[in-house]
Amino acid sequence: MLTTTLRSIKEIYGYSVCAADFSAGEIKEFYVDSKQWKIASISVGRGPEPESRIQISPEVLEEIDSPQRTFFTQLTPGELEQGVFPSRVVGKKSSWLPAGKLLQYTAYASDRPLGRVTDLLVNDADLGIRYLAVRVDALDKQFLLSPWNVGALKRRPLELVLRCAFEEVCRGPEYNFSVPVSREIENLLQEQYGKPLFWV
């Protein structure tokens, strides 16, 4: 069983995905369901070519070995080699977005531009997206937001529009990649936005 820990999604790109002593390769991409704000599918492969990759459901992940940068699955080597395909096909009309693409989005408060989306924090127990990190260019700082603050995602151009105003975002807790999100920070987010907490 996966532990309950918040991780930067950028940290777990490149992790190996294994069944026993068989490795299907490294994580190349995560597909985010932007309606439910969770990882819906994981793209795994040994090389850069998209056609060499398999898709697996995050539900088959069983254990994470951080020092070895490896996810272990519930699958047999044969099952993992074939891939476990999610029920939906990633397409142009899908609510799924590559996480790498989300990190290219420009975030807008309800009243003015903010800056680039810089990170997604995931709970490795179920790979739910718990927080977005957004850089506010005017302050040269990063702030945490619940994904439930997102009002709209525009694909052309790549824009993420929030329901909250600029000043409200800037009153929130700053994000530091090297410091874990604490209960204190969570409480500040809850007080400010009233959104679901990671710690329960």
pLDDT at 52: 78
Query: To the nearest whole number, what is the mean pLDDT of the chain?
Result: 84
Residues 6+ apart with CB under 8 A from 162: 107, 108, 109, 110, 114, 145, 149, 150, 151, 169
Q: Which helix (H) or strand (E) holds 101?
A: helix 99-102
pLDDT at 43: 92
Cα distance between residue 145 and residue 119, in whole Å: 11
pTM, 2 dp = 0.84
Contact 152, 166 (CB under 8 A): no
pLDDT at 5: 77
pLDDT at 99: 96
Low pLDDT (below 70) residues in the chain: 1-4, 84-93, 180, 182-183, 185, 188-200
What 8-state DSSP symbol labels residue 5? -
Cα distance between residue 157 and residue 111, in whole Å: 18
Domains and CATH numbers, the chain: 7-97 (2.30.30.240), 103-193 (2.30.30.240)
Contact 147, 131 (CB under 8 A): yes
Residues 6+ apart with CB under 8 A from 61: 2, 17, 71, 72, 73, 74, 127
